[in-house]
Structure 1
Amino acid sequence: MRVRYLHLETTDPAVNLATEEWLLRQDTADVFMLWRNRPSIIIGRNQNAHAQINAAFVAAQGIPVVRRLTGGGAVFHDLGNVNFTFITTGRTTTALDFKRFTDPIVAALQKIGLPCRLDGRNDLTVHGRKISGNAQFALGNRVLHHGTLLYAASMPDIARALVVNPVKYQDRAVKSVAARVANIRSFLQEPLSVEDFIQFIFTEIVPRGQSDDRRLTPVEQQGIQLLADRKYRSYEWNFGRSPKYAFSKYIRTDGGVVEIHFDVAGGVILALKIFGEFFSKNELVSLENKVRGCCHSREALLKRLEDVNLDDYMLGVDTGTFVDCFF
């Protein structure tokens, strides 16, 4: 079986995740691939996107939230996080086999002095600290396995980006589980640069004498870019696929307390009720009707309310603060 060894140059999360799917669906070769994303949050296939993130931090930093093909929890990526992907043909069982794909990674890390091991079903740990999370997706007889390698990731950003109050969201979606994580570089006696670490992993995984062509063809790049734009940058995939959920929030504003309750399905705000201690000149039902049917996104809500004089409904509450109540 022909094996392709790829190192993706782009750090665009939408393009990198689209590359995985395109190669899984359109190619027949086995693949080993290394890639990095600029700061982004990558959520699992079955998760409620909003419930995994610190919305204020994500919005302020302009961090994209992108849904992947595989299940599991949300992860924060930056350029200190190295991701690896295996795609193979010839699946003979419906069971997920993490050991098969993590063994070569474990062997490589042990070679540079890390007492690394597969812990539980899908984590790699060193001294009980998580350095890698793994997930899989099967399509016919093809399997996609990918994992993270926390090499020199920003731990404060990970903590800030993924912190959210779970009380606000009521749903049955998969929840991310907090773990004690650590960077690989902190365990090395002679730390490498991220680029040298990537080269080391490549050298260990690619068989000796094997042709090492790390590039995608122009035709592949064109198909991948189209998939990234149509799917992995879309609200429908990243947020609209979130399971149905209910949201509630209580916030103090300059105009008084605002309390909001609403349901979301398909990424769209449905039933909505607004309560509070503020003063209003008009009936709130008119404002509720204006918001109902809007996508549950900050940009969509701001656009929906751009012609609304909020003082008519909530004296002393500005539009930006009102929109904050939805996250």
Structure 2
Amino acid sequence: MIYVKSDSTKPQFNLALEEYVFEYLDEFDKIFMLWQNEPAIIVGRHQNTIEEINTKYVKENNIHVVRRLSGGGAVYHDLGNLNYTIISKSEENNGFDFKTFSQPVIDVLAELGIKAEFTGRNDIVIGEQKFCGNAQYMKKGKVLHHGAILFDTELDILGKALKVSKDKILSKGVKSVRSRVTNIKDYLKEDITVEDFENLLLKRMFGGEKEILPYKLSEKDLQKVNELVEKRYGTWEWNYGKSPEFNIKKSNRFESGKVETFIDVDRGIIKELKFYGDFFGHGELEDIENKFIGIKYNEKNIRHVLNDIDISYYFSGISVEQLLSCIID
């Protein structure tokens, strides 16, 4: 296993670095990364950005908005937050194993006298409050797992910057996103910094006291990362994207996440269809969205399209019937 450390706090660069390491440092079976961002909202791969953020507040407070490769929900980052990434070669399958990859964080907290546990589909909590959300991206026999750890984050800003849908808040049985989350620092018996916690996590991952030297990226590597910033992570098209004109909007929240569908129907024919949500899945949704274009907007034809798709691959944990309910009554 190698350790890749980012000296940048720009979210566009860090997410580009993460993708580059995942795609191109293929000679290593396992890679560990630690990184921090200046204030930013990182939205999930399939989310409709405008519906996840408080646009006015984000703009007034110069908060970056960047989309990541993995699914799941939007998270807030600042310099009181620590992000970790584990990249591992494995047999590709449709399952998402968040618990195993979350264990190092739980172990470090146990050493500090704090009981944390994995719960739900992708959260690590202390008591009933979340301090770390996790997400995964899989491709070509490799998995990229990353988590956003709230160590000493400005939670009031987090609550104002994120615009969480009411159905998600109700499903958690709490009043607001702010009341759902907590900082690790509030539970420490002895005061340590986020840098101290970073070192503890590093030691846990590499199993020893000896100095852990970061892998040195070449100038060519860094050039490729910056090209990814220019082509993807620094663009409006990637981070916000174009929402289709629509006359039908449907959504449902399931145990595996929320699915929201925007559909443009003209004279009974589907002209465009777009899926959004905080669900997890593989592949490019555009590949299946295009299959609906030109078909009649009725249950028979929509079901026919769905039956020809491996729904569990694109929408992990969601059935054909559940997805059908997000398209037509």
Distance in structure 2 (CA, Å) of the matches to 1:109 and 1:243:
45
How many residues end up aligned between the 2 structures?
Answer: 240
Length-normalised TM-score, structure 2:
0.68
**Cα deviation, residue 245, structure 1:** 6.1
Partner of 2:187: 187
Counterpart for residue 16 of structure 1: 14
1:45 CA drift (Å) = 0.3
Alignment root-mean-square deviation, CA = 2.6
Partner amino acid for 2:80? G
Question: CA shift at 1:94, angstroms?
Answer: 2.4
Distance 1:110 1:224, change over 3 A: same
Superposed, which structure 2 residues align to 1:1-327 within 5 Å?
Answer: 3-28=1-26, 29=28, 30-163=30-163, 178=177, 180-208=180-208, 212-240=213-241
Q: Deviations over 1:75-94 (max 9, x none)?
A: 11100010000000122532
Superimposed CA distance per residue, residues 127-186 of structure 1 (whole angstroms, 9 cap, x where no aligned partner)? 11101000000011010000011000001100110137879xxxxxxxxx9461000000
CA apart distance, 1:113: 1.1
Asked if the contact 2:92–2:138 (Cα under 8 Å) also holds between the matched residues in 1, the reply is: no
Larger radius of gyration: 1
Per the alignment, residue 308 of structure 1 pairs with none
Q: 1:244 to 1:238 in 2, by over 3 A?
A: farther
What SS class does the counterpart of residue 14 from structure 2 fall into? helix
Once the 2 structures are TM-superposed, how far is the Cα of residue 216 of structure 1 from its aligned partner? Answer: 2.4
How far does the alpha carbon of each residue in 1:276-314 deviate from its partner, in whole angstroms, 9 at most, with x for none? xxxxxxxxxxxxxxxxxxxxxxxxxxxxxxxxxxxxxxx
Q: Distance in 1 between matches of 2:70 and 2:196?
A: 28
- Report the CA distance between 1:112 and its aligned residue: 0.9
Secondary structure in structure 1 of the residue aligned to 2:180: coil
* Shift in alpha-carbon separation, 1:244–1:35, aligned structure 2, 3 A: farther
The aligned amino acid for 1:212 is: L
Amino acid at match of 1:235: W
What do the CA deviations read for 1:213-239 (whole angstroms, capped 9, x no partner)? 244222211111110121001011111
CA 1:4–1:80 in structure 2 vs 1: closer, same or farther (change >3 Å)?
same
Structure 1 stretch 206-215 or stretch 119-128: which is displaced more? 206-215
State whether residues 3 and 32 of structure 2, in contact with CA within 8 Å, keep that contact through their aligned partners in structure 1: yes
1:81 touches 1:151 (CA, 8 Å); kept in 2? yes
Residue aligning to 1:309: none
Shift of 1:264: 11
Aligned identity (percent) is 36
Output the TM-score relative to the length of structure 1: 0.68
Q: Which letter maps to 2:207?
A: P
Q: Quick one: distance in 1 between partners of 2:112 and 2:186?
A: 12
CA gap of 1:98–1:234, structure 2 versus 1, over 3 A, is: same
3-state SS of the aligned residue for 1:88?
A: strand
The code of the aligned residue for 1:95 comes to G
3-state SS, counterpart of residue 240 of structure 1? coil
Q: Deviations over 1:37-57 (max 9, x none)?
A: 000110000000000111111
